[in-house]
Amino acid sequence: MSEEKKQLITIESGEAEQPFRWSAGTYGSRFLTELRDHKRFVGIRCPKCGKVYVPPRRVCGPCFVELTELVPVSDQGEIITYTVVSFGFVDPATGKQKPVPYGYAVIKLDGADTYLLHYVDETDPAKIKVGARVRAVFEEERHGSMLDIKYFELLER
């Protein structure tokens, strides 16, 4: 560091916390409750286009109508695309470095028309394939969060 730079002062934001309280909404809460209590996935069907959204949401953007019909979807599905995250970064939820590497994929559950982003239990990209079948593995202790799903396990390697 140059002498000039050494004289320039910076400060850290330190241990300051800024807590928020967010709402999952009625359908989001139902989805998370089903995960937590029954290890089940639930979606919602659009009355106009028939698309099943997972997680369930109140509105279909393209149709701009209200959704009310909850439908069960599978805990199994297929990989749409994937990567293996190996760079370090700060997880804003914890303020700590996220442990790497980990498999990371966009997953289409059977019966859903939308996709979930989640972990995959594989860190060698050569062993993950687009279209590979996966199944959700749940945490023993669940709190009503997407992290109640530990990861998706590859059913074929």
Binding site for another protein (CB under 8 A): 4-5, 8, 10, 13, 20, 22, 24, 28, 32, 51, 55, 57, 61, 80-87, 89-93, 98, 104-108, 113-119, 125, 130, 145-147
Listing DSSP states for 2-37 in one string gives -HHHHT------TT---------HHHHHHHHHHHHH
Distances in whole angstroms, Cα of residue 121 to Cα of each of 11, 50, 68? 39, 32, 34
Residues 83 and 107: beta-carbon distance below 8 Å: no
Partner whose footprint covers residue 63, from Zn ion, another protein, none (CB < 5 to 8 Å by kind) = Zn ion
Specify the residue, 20 or 64, whose C-beta has the smaller distance to Zn ion.
Answer: 64
Cis peptide before 19 (omega within 30 of 0): no
Name which of Zn ion, another protein, none residue 12 binds, using a CB cut-off of 5 to 8 Å depending on partner kind: none
For the CB of residue 26, give the shortest distance to another protein in the complex, in Å. Answer: 13
Residue 141 beta carbon to another protein: minimum distance, rounded to whole angstroms: 15
Q: According to CB under 5 A, which one of 46, 79, 128, 149 is a site residue for Zn ion?
A: 46
